[in-house]
Every structure is written in C-alpha cells, then in structure tokens.
Amino acid sequence: MDFAYDENENTMRVRITELLRAYPPAGTDPAEFHRAQFDAGLAWVHFPEGLGGLGLSRELQDVVDTQLREAGAPVNPSGHIGIGVGMAAPTILAFGTQEQRSRYLRPLWLGEEVWCQLFSEPDAGSDLAAVATRAVRDDAGTSPSGAAGSGGGWVVNGQKVWTSSAHVARFAILLARTDPDVPKHRGLSYFVVDMTAPGVEVRPLRQITGEAEFNEVFLTDVRVPDTARLGEVGDGWKVANATLSSERVAIGGDQADRESGMISKVADLWREHPEVRSAAVHDRVMERWVAAEVFRLTGARLRQRLATGAPGFEGAAMKVMFADLAQSISLLELELDPDGALQYDDWTLVRPASVDFLSRGPGYRYLRAKGNSIEGGTSEVLRNIVAERVLGLPGEPRVDKDVPWKKVPR
C-alpha cells in the first residue's frame, strides 16, 4: 500500500516537473499555463485521467498546489467560478455521462464558462424538496403555451431566487419538478441549463450591502434537451443532495492558514490599537480567535476525510460554524473600531461576479455576513441535518413526506 502511494506520488511529481519545464511560469501566459495544467492531470488529481486528474488521492492536490505556488505559477481563477468548481464539477463527475464530463469540466475549471445554481424558490422557503419549477417532457416540439420548437427534451417554467453569478453565468445546475403526482422528494429531476437560451431572464436583487450579487431568474418555456439531464428522471433529490454536500464543504471547508480570514482583521485591531484593550475585550477576542482556530483545524480534518471518499454530513456542521464565526467576528470588529466601521465605503449598486470580504471595509463585512446563515442552506436546516444524520436524534415531524406534491397546501 505504501509502495503504491509512493509510486503514485512520484508519477504526480514527474508531471509537475514536466509542466514547469514546458511552461515556465515566468514566461507563460496564465491562461495557457492553466490549460496545460488541466491537460497534465494536475487540476484536481482525484478526478479521472483525461478530465483534469490522475485518479489519485484527493489529498495529493495540496502537494501539487504547494509546488506550483513555490515555483511562481499563476493562481488558478477563483471567485465567481466557485460554484462551478465546488458544486457543479463534483456533480457532473458523479452523475454525468462521459460526453457531459468531456464537454463541461475543462472550461469550467479554467473559468472560461461560469456556472450558477438554480435551486431556491420564493415559495419553497428552506424546503428545497418543495420546488415548483416544472420541467415537462416534450418530444413533440410544442411548449405548454403553444409555442413551436424543436422536439426532444423538456420545457421548463418557473422562478428561482438568490442565484449568485446568474448575471455572468453561461450554464446553471437546475432542480425542477418532473412529476407532481408523487411525494415531493421523488418527483424531481436535475438538469444543466444554458443561461443564454431563449426564455431565461435574470433580474438583480439589491442587498443590504447596496450590491446585487444575487439575482432572480425567470424561466419561461425554456427548452432543455434530455442530453442535459444529470442522473435518471426522478432522481433529482439524490443528485441535488450530492451538490449540496459539495457546496457546504466549499463554503466552510477551504484550506486556511492560522489567523487568516476575518479573524485577522480583529487581531490586527487588537495589536495596533491599545486604547481598545480591556480584560473583557481580551476575553472576547481570544474566544473568537480560538473558535476560528478550531474551525480551521476542523476543516483540515474534513479535508482528510474527503481524501478517503465523497463528502459526508460533516460539511453541514462546518457551514454552521462558518456562518456563526463570520457574523460574530464582524460584529466584534465593529465594536473595536466604531468610528471607522460606521463609515461605509460604497452604496453604489454594482453587480459583482464574486464576494471579497477582506478587501472591503468592516461595515461591508458586518452587513454581508448576515447572509452567511442563509446562503448555502440556512443554519436552522443544517442544524437539523447534523442532529438527525450525524447525532442520530429523532427527526422533525414531516406530515407531507408521503403526500403527492400536487396535494400539499402551498
């Protein structure tokens, strides 16, 4: 076993050496380097060969990233491609056809095609299984409204909300109802939607920060070919849960250095402004610092677990911890520097492609952190997941679990 591991790691290190020799970071265009990195199997080494990986252990990606970073290689595109890399890619790998994997994964990782997530709906609340957006099979080529079209596939109608990056997205992962006559968890299917298709309308949602990073998405007679379906018809809940597990890990389980992220802002305030120090403040700063360190180390354990297989329900706990930390740390930062924090930097309505907590002011961090307990699954729902599926506690009463969706009051 150890010999196999050493042989695999040696193969990977040879690939790294060959990549750096053929594409010296100092003289290579970043986009060209990243294309070569993907083709060398060094994008995500745990993916299969030919799809950006080498079929190795997930934990070896840290070795790749460290060596490339030390060699001065350009950092892979991040920010608004997070949904694609963190959520769509694992789902496509697990449930997609070989044609779908070959079509989507390379441009997704390279950031050439941005992805968004069409899950949440205005009337479904936190109950994702209650989504009402309909996908109707239409092999004849006519839409529910009578419009003509090419046959073969599905016609989608509905509304989604809180959709990050929809205004810059090329594709979306969609959960839609394909059978209203069965209980809500069994009548769902999962699709890839072209965001440039006729009938897709994206409207900005202005937030408390003044920005509109989220959107409403209206789907009116949107045609989706059956070849864009992930998983079997009716298996949408299963596929969506795999996506959500990956999402919670992506939000709460990033690799981080000690005293990085938002806690660094509070630590800097404490060190640079002795006038704010007191015994009580010291206790609060240390409490949050320790909590941030526990969160960081828990994330390291989670990544070790990921190296042995798919993400489990531990990601739900990480997501709850992340939201609590972001909100409590941003509040403490405001209290340590009230004069500076209340000078909000910019209320201009912009539609950013990504969220950057650290480059903005403390007022932005405090307001934006309010959304952390909602996005990616509300903290209340995630606590239920931890209680029921991790701790084995009795489940919440669910009176509509076995009732056909169309008969459930809404």
Question: In the numeric block, which tokens belong to residue 99?
Answer: 């044609």
Could you tell me which residues come within 8 angstroms of residue 157 by beta carbon, excluding any fewer than 6 positions away? 133, 134, 136, 144, 219, 220, 221, 222
Pairing of strands 214-224, 154-160: antiparallel
The dihedral region occupied by 26, where left means phi > 0, alpha psi between -120 and 50, and beta the remainder, is alpha
Of 184, 138, 193, 187, the residue nearest 160 (C-alpha): 193
Question: Of the listed 213, 247, 314, 333, which one is catalytic?
Answer: 247
Question: In the numeric block, which tokens belong to residue 18?
Answer: 């060959």
Contact 192, 198 (CB under 8 A): no
3-state secondary structure the chain: CHHHHHHHHHHHHHHHHHHHHHCCHHHCCHHHHHHHHHHCCCCCCCCCECCCECCCCCCHHHHHHHHHHHCCCCCCCCCCCHHHHHHHHHHHHHHCCHHHHHHHHHHHHHCCCCEEEECCCCCCCCCHHHCCCEEEECCCCECCCCCECCCCCEEEEEEECCCCCCCCCCEEEEEEECCCCCECCCCEEEEEEECCCCCEEEEEECCCCCCCCEEEEEEEEEEECHHHEECCCCCHHHHHHHHHHHHHHHHHCCCCCCCCCHHHHHHHHHHHCHHHCCHHHHHHHHHHHHHHHHHHHHHHHHHHHHCCCCCCCHHHHHHHHHHHHHHHHHHHHHHHCHHHHCCCCCCCCCCCCCCCCCCCCHHHHHHHHHHHHCCCCCHHHHHHHHHHHHCCCCCCCCCCCCCEHHHCCC
**Is position 380 annotated as part of the catalytic site?**
no
* Calpha distance 65→75 (Å, rounded): 9
Give me the active site residues, please. Answer: 247
